């Protein structure tokens, strides 16, 4: 898979990505998108979210800090995106943790997101299977949730981009695993939320499966590059932003560690 071409297309387009994300992630997610080559817009109020989604190139919805106004904004934005044929990405943060989160995640899932970007515990919960996740922390491995990810993709008709020590992307038939990154990444708040935004940026210029693979591959390569010079999670963060900015399309093709799976067993 030529992920470098997808990166080149994204940077040429500089897609406008509407990000409805949590309070912790807003600044980080915006900086990640800017460093990678996209244009972020943190527009979430229901009074304008639907209108904005009508002309944005992609929409991402993250349920990290739930409140009635946020949920209203999510619904308005999704309706606007659907009306315009705009791809949208769901990040069901800690959807296994509370009754409210389970209900909101299920309601949004029923609206058929283009891409679901989540950790293994969240994917298991969305698929109606047992999860060991606690709060926002995922405690299940991606390997243990690959079957659930495949079934969820088949049920929704979307792509599942499941992240962890080794990432897994599936559309229910095709699948890939993506290795790389850094042990410092889980110790930096909201990097996963930022990756959701990046999935949206790539979805603006590529089909959902190819977009997800490219976004996760870019994150993994940038994480691996930054890791070599970092001394811990604090020094890693700015190095990671620099790496995102400096990875060239040909670098991505050369350095991405993507294992393609032609057919995923039923």
Q: Is 127 annotated as ligand-binding?
A: no
3-state secondary structure of 9: helix
Would the annotation count 163 as a binding residue?
yes
Q: Which phi and psi (to 5°) does residue 175 adopt? A: -160, 150
Check the annotation: does 175 bind a ligand. no
Core vs surface per residue 37-54: b (16+ CB within 10 A) or e: bbebeebbebeebbebbb
DSSP 144: G
| Cα first-last separation, the chain | 23
Distance CA 209, CA 163 (A): 14
Length of the chain: 266
Beta carbons within 10 angstroms of residue 252's beta carbon: 22
State yes or no: 1 annotated in a binding site. Answer: no
Question: What are the angstrom distances between the C-alpha of 249 and each of 159, 206, 211, 257?
Answer: 23, 15, 14, 14
Binding residues for substrate, as ranges, are: 42, 190
Annotated binding site: 42, 117, 163, 190
| Residue numbering of the annotated binding site for ATP | 117, 163
């Amino acid at each position: 898979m030529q992920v470098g071409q997808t990166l080149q297309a994204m940077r040429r387009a500089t897609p406008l990505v509407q990000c409805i994300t949590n309070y912790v992630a807003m600044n980080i997610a915006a900086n990640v998108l800017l460093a990678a080559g996209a244009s972020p817009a943190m527009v979430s109020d229901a009074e304008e979210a639907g209108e904005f989604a009508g002309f944005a190139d992609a929409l991402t919805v993250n349920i990290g800090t739930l409140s009635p106004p946020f949920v209203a904004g999510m619904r308005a934005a999704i309706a606007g995106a659907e009306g315009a044929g705009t791809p949208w990405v769901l990040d069901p943060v800690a959807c296994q943790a509370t009754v409210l989160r389970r209900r909101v995640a299920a309601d949004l899932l029923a609206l058929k997101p283009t891409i679901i970007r989540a950790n293994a515990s969240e994917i298991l919960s969305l698929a109606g299977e047992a999860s060991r996740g606690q709060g926002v922390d995922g405690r299940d491995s991606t390997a243990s949730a690959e079957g659930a990810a495949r079934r969820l993709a088949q049920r929704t008709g979307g792509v599942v981009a499941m992240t962890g020590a080794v990432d897994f992307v599936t559309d229910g038939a095709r699948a890939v695993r993506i290795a790389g990154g850094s042990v410092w990444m889980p110790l930096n708040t909201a990097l996963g939320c930022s990756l959701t935004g990046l999935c949206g940026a790539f979805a603006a210029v590529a089909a959902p499966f190819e977009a997800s693979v490219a976004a996760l591959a870019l994150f993994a390569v940038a994480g691996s590059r930054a890791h070599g010079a970092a001394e811990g999670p604090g020094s890693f963060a700015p190095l990671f932003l620099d790496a995102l900015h400096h990875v060239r399309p040909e670098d991505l093709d050369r350095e991405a560690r993507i294992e393609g799976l032609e057919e995923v067993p039923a």
